Structure 1
Amino acid sequence: MTEHPAASRTAGAGATTDDGGESCLNRGFSLRSAFSLAFADVSPIVALYAIFTLGLFSAGPAFVWAFPIVLVGQLLVACVFGELSSRWPYAGSVYQWARHVRGTSWGWVAAWAYAWGLTIALSTLAYGAAGFLLPALGVDDPGRTVTVGAAMAILAAGSVANMVGRRVLKVMVVASIVCEVVGSVGLSTLLLLFHRVNPLHVLVDGFGTQSTGSWLGGPLLVATAYVGWSFVGFEAAGSIAEEVEKPERNVPKAIILSLLCVAAIVMYSSVALVLAIPDLQHVMAAKTGDPVTRTLVSQLGSVIARPLLVLFVIGFLSSFLAVQAAVSRCLWGSARDNALPGSRKLAKLAGPERLPVNAIALTGVVAAVLVLLAGSSLYEVLVNFTTMGFQIAFGVPVVGAAIARLRGKWRPGAFSLGRWGTPVTLLAALWAIAQTVNIAWPRSSMGDTWYLRWSMILTTALLAVAGALVFAFVRKRIKQPLADRLHADGPGAAPAAPTQPVTSPGVPGDVRKGSA
């Protein structure tokens, strides 16, 4: 095998190619690229469109106060992820972080939840993009068959784009980000400057309609659960860590900055929309329809309708590309450790840019199967696991990091919170647990039937049973954690963290073996 020049700079020990060489990802992303991918994964347009109506109808205009609450909690998580990604900058983000900080079973749980949550999200993103694309092309009232067909085409095109190479992915993601930022910020500014019809006090109307205690303990908690879906995806920068230049420094920056930038845009757009909703009292009384599109068309004219649909399509497509890139790296990183059925195939890299083509294809195929279920009750139940999958995958490494700190076994990487590390990590762990309970709590607002209200718990239980069976099947053949393998390979191994070798003094053996 002829080694690519960048291969010697990547952490690729563990999986072998047919000719006996080690499987290595090429460095192909800069800090800007990693930031762009994480930004697109969250996607301000998708984040806002997905939860604005739910938050407005569940907690009134004052639901916007859920955004800063969730932002603070997720920022704590992002800071912990920054430290974890700096210490272990390997492909797979939450899987690698959880495994190295707490052990194989913790890492496997994080990977299982993450893979299912994101793969289900791929199907919803493709189906959502199709729902906007068809009207933008002049197809009015498309039936389910036509929408599913368009979603399948989007899945295929997106998967091919991810397989072609990093350059294509970077160009498409950056172009979509420009459109998203200009569209979101531009439209919101127009609404605030020229189309504000509601006074500022509507943003605190929730406090006046109920006692403060009941609003905080009821509607605001519901809104916080919905808003939680908006501020996830920033960990995508960690999924491609092995492909990022100087990942121990650049990945933490990309994780934190992407969250802050998306949050600023989403909060700005939400306030602008609330203040521009015509006849707000009627909208809140009816609690039906799509207040986002209705407000934009009503205030800016019907001429905005088609460009608005195109903007939504761009947002959903960019998010699809970023989500698939993230979940495929998680699958590839797990397969490299022999932690999945069919690991030999999933761990293969192909093409001049050495991409995990088989892992990308698998996510596309599974998402396509799920799209076929769109419109059914089963699909609605599965879709609800998207948020829960994120929460579990986020919580496992964060709680693991908190345990490591409490036991005094944490050693920082190039990016460190210093003396604030322990309190931030403990608060992040408490937030992750509390938000998981809040999201999973069965509420009438989650659906009219019992299985929709309990869908979070049902899907988690079913996938947990399935995961336990798969883990029992692969457990004995799972390789040592990557950091430990690199340490065992000696000086000739591909370096994992350029500025902090795994064998650096002061790193206890139990940490290197993933049991910190």
Structure 2
Amino acid sequence: MSELNMALPAQAGAKPNEPVKEFGLWSAFTLGFSNISPILGIYSVFSISLMSAGPAFLWSLPLVLVGQLLVACVFGELVSRWPFQGSVYAWASQLGGARYGWFANWAYIWGMVLSLTFLALASAGYLLSAIGVNAPSEMFSIGVALLVLAFGSFANMVAGRFLKTLLTFTLCCELTASAGIGTALLLFHHVNPFSILFSGGGTNHGSTGHWLVVNFTEVVAFAGYSICGFEIAGSIAEEVVEARRAIPKAMILALAAVGGLVIYACTAIILAIPNFTSVMSGNIADPISSTLISSFGPAVGRASLIVLAVGFTSGMIAVQTALSRTVWATARDNIIPGATFLVKLSGQEHLPRRVILLTALISGALLFINTTKLYSLLISFSNVGYYICYSLPVLGLIYARRRGAWEPGAFSLGRWSNPVAYAAAAWLILEAINEVWPRPLSNVWYLNWGVLIMLCILTVVGLIICTKMVKNDASQREQSKFVVSDSI
């Protein structure tokens, strides 16, 4: 990471291979909102959490939201000091050197690549259901997923006004679907008492202690996946005007908004479910759709599928935006294969189009293993990958403060900085352990141990690649001292 390479570009007149500042606070907020996405949050955890812990699973959501807000506040301090492309990679590199940053990046990139693949496939499934194709062949589903991925890649390659307008449109759709439908359910279709929110729904097996240790910790792991990705605004830091002040606000506001909407909508759906006995017995596979159809009629069911497709597609686009910038930042530091090719920016907007194309090709290839158990093993790692890469810069910040090597940026928590950092580190470590912990969710043993298996495999592979790419740690640590422009 040379000082020349890492000097931030000015707002105007950026050099040919430097990002252009074309995003503001609103654009950074919409990008983060789309990535976390209330629609994804609601649909990704509701059914499985309800079956695992009953209606009381709802209380896992505010717990996770508080933990993630602690992390977002720490990230706000980090990006305010170092507003560079790549977010957790850049921060970890600053705090712990090139090898430390490389491992944060390894976990981060894997998590995003797998998320990109999953979101494209999920969006295709909801889109096909919306147009009445309920039993498509595997290859047909993959073909539609490839088209969705191609559309997202096109949006990222064009970027500019088109991408900003698209993200604003999807934000409006998600607000209507989560806040609007949630309010209508609470006002006109509230059929269950509020006391049901404290019920295990028969999942506690006669023991509150068992429910807390087994069922509730399990849904906390699920919820951890639904409220994740808030750091994405930091991945485009060099493209955001007044990044030191705008990005901390964008991250925290997007996380708080999405987390609040997920809790609100889930509460409304739980209180509107017409027949809990059928849901908890497994006779109703999709309690959200059945509740919406029961409350508003069949037409809403198809509309909800369209909104789901929009939500998953916007999340996919946001993930690819962050992924491409992170890979590009790694190429700029010349610590990945093909760095010379990947580091080139193109177009008037100075976009990493080569990297965007590469991410699309890799995710497209992964779609073809979507029916194998290997795909399940890969996906199982995507969530814990986020928590591992989140923890590295937080722990690095704590270490820097203990050594007296930390100087706050424009955004600072002041005297609360240390308590918040320690609380965030504790949360991330506990949640990572919770994510890795093997659970009997499948009859196939290695799927139950999938997260731990993939963690071990990718750690070994990462060590091999890191040793090859980063040959001299001492010199890399010296080179990783960034020059920060006071004009940012």
Give the TM bin, normalised by the shorter chain. over 0.9
The corresponding residue for 1:180 is 174
CA contact (8 A) 1:47 1:266 kept: yes
Q: Count matched residues.
A: 478
Question: What's the counterpart of residue 369 of structure 1?
Answer: 365
Distance 1:423 1:10 in 2: 39
1:433 aligns with 2:429: yes
Q: 1:209-241: per-residue Cα shift (whole Å, max 9, x none)?
A: 544332222211011000000111110000000
Provide the TM-score with structure 2 as the length reference: 0.94
Query: How much has 1:104 moved relative to structure 2?
Result: 1.2
Q: Which residue pairs with 1:189 in the alignment?
A: 183
CA contact (8 A) 2:97 2:480 kept: no
Letter in 1 for 2:438: P
Is the CA contact 1:89–1:497 (under 8 Å) kept in the aligned structure 2? no
Q: Say which SS state the counterpart of residue 428 (structure 2) adopts.
A: helix
Tell me, in whole angstroms, the C-alpha distance in 2 between the residues paired with 1:477 and 1:359: 26
What value does the CA root-mean-square deviation take over the aligned residues? 2.0
- 2:467 pairs with 472, 479, 486, which one? 472
* Deviation string, structure 1 residues 318-364 (Cα, Å, up to 9, x no partner): 10110100111110111100111111111110111000111111111
Q: Counterpart of 2:65? A: 71
> Structure 2: which 5+ residue stretches go unaligned?
1-7
Residue 9, structure 1, aligned to residue 11, structure 2: yes
CA distance in 2: counterparts of 1:288 and 1:313, whole angstroms: 21
Check conservation: 1:87, 1:497, Cα contact below 8 A. Answer: no
The 1:462/1:324 distance shift into structure 2, 3 A limit, reads same
Deviation at 1:404, TM superposition (A): 1.6
1:153 is matched with which residue? 147
- Say whether the 8 Å CA contact 1:89–1:496 is kept in structure 2: no
Distance 1:214 1:407, change over 3 A: farther
Given candidates 314, 317, 321, the residue that maps to 1:318 is 314
- How far residue 11 of structure 1 moved from its aligned partner, in angstroms, is 12
Give the CA deviation at 1:166: 2.5
1:143 maps to which residue?
137
Matched, 1:350 2:346: yes
Residues 238-269 of structure 1 deviation map (CA, whole Å, 9 limit, x = unaligned):
00000000001101111111100000100001
Shift of 1:39: 0.6
CA distance in 2, matches of 1:484, 1:274: 50
* 1:311, distance to aligned residue in structure 2 (A): 0.5
1:138-171 Cα shifts (integer Å, max 9, x gaps): 3232121111100011111111110112222111
In structure 1, the residue matched to 2:37 is 43
Write out aligned runs for 1:373-392 (5 A). Answer: 373-392=369-388
1:113 is matched with 107
* Corresponding residue number in structure 1 for 2:450: 455
Cα contact 2:121–2:145 (8 A) shared by 1: yes
Q: Which residue number in structure 2 is paired with residue 512 of structure 1?
A: none
The one-letter amino acid paired with 2:290 is: R
Name the amino acid aligned to 2:47.
T
Match of residue 498 from structure 1: 487
What does residue 3 of structure 2 align with? Answer: none
> Which of 160, 165, 172 is 1:171 aligned to?
165
* Structure 2: distance between partners of 1:207 and 1:54: 13
1:10, distance to aligned residue in structure 2 (A)? 8.3
- Separation in 2, partners of 1:46, 1:70: 15
CA contact (8 A) 2:189 2:272 kept: yes
Residue 75 of structure 1 deviates from its aligned partner by 0.7
CA distance in 2, matches of 1:233, 1:137: 30
Q: 1:138 to 1:205 in 2, by over 3 A?
A: closer
Sort the Cα spacing of 1:484 and 1:471 in 2 relative to 1 into closer, same or farther, 3 A.
closer
1:285 Cα shift? Answer: 2.1
For 2:357 and 2:328, the matched residues in 1 are separated by 11
Give 1:444's aligned residue: 440
Partner-residue secondary structure (3-state), 2:335: coil
Deviation per CA, 1:123-149, whole angstroms, max 9, x where unpaired?
Answer: 110000000111222323212111110
SS at match of 1:229: helix
Match of 1:261 in 2: 257
Gaps of 5+ in 1: 1-5, 13-20, 488-494, 500-516
CA change 1:482–1:168 in 2 (3 A) is farther
Task: Provide the C-alpha distance between the structure 2 equivalents of 1:207 and 1:427, rounded to a whole number of angstroms.
Answer: 32
Equivalence map 1:238-249=2 (5 Å)? 238-249=234-245
Aligned partners of 1:48, 1:273: CA distance in 2, in Å?
A: 10
Check the 8 A contact 2:284/2:290 in 1, yes or no: no
Q: Structure 1 length normalisation: TM-score?
A: 0.89
Q: Which residue of 1 aligns with 2:74?
A: 80
